Amino acid sequence: MPELPIQHRYEGSSDAIVRARLRKWPQHPPGVRPSPKQPGTWLRARPGDANGSAQPFLKLPGSSTFRTLPDGMWLHFGTDPADPWCDILCIEACSSLPNLLDKRSRFAPSTTSTLVCCPLSWLLDRVQPNDPTPRWKLIRLLTAEPSGPLILPVRDVRVVYGLRARHYEGFARTQIPQPHEYFCPMEVLTAEDGAENPAMQALLGRATASANFMELP
């Protein structure tokens, strides 16, 4: 029997196949270029290694149980230890419209601050299998090896939602996204070479703080 196409083999588990694909994406979001608005370090926070358990997550101040765990998340760390903050670029796979509505609600504008929490073991772990550098050494906010988790307020939020073809087409025809929201077909996220897709790189390049300005000084 011939092997089923990837979308059929993983029907109903889009999140799992998207996470498997995103593990192959680079530490720096593809298509995102360095700019004066984001001069710090980008690191891929989620998904982590398949065998690892400690990964950064999002939460509200004072909450110890309810967490937001995006399918994909990249963190951009500021450079000034006296003014610590973090930008986030998230990717969420949405296999149904209720799933999309649920995930959109987690990133809706709020009067409370979102916090990103980086576990100590994640900070001390190597950047990637072929690079033994511990992550904390790449984060210029940290001037010495940390002894506890790094918890930072989120300065800027951008989210890319992956939708099944019929949902994507309907949403694109009839809906107006929020300024922090971006959308793509699910097939791009489940593709082996999704990070190399020029259209995806262009989309992620627009999902940054610098894209809001005609030109930067």
- CA separation for the pair 159, 104 (Å, rounded): 9
Place of tokens 């926070």: 45
Q: Residues for the chain: how many in total?
A: 217
pLDDT computed for residue 128 by the predictor: 87
Question: pTM, whole model, 2 decimals?
Answer: 0.90
Average pLDDT per 10 consecutive residues for the chain, totaling 217 residues:
38 78 95 90 91 86 88 96 96 94 91 92 92 95 96 96 94 94 96 95 93 86
Partners of 140 in the β-ladder? none
pLDDT computed for residue 6 by the predictor: 39
Antiparallel, parallel or unpaired: β 72-77 and 115-118: unpaired
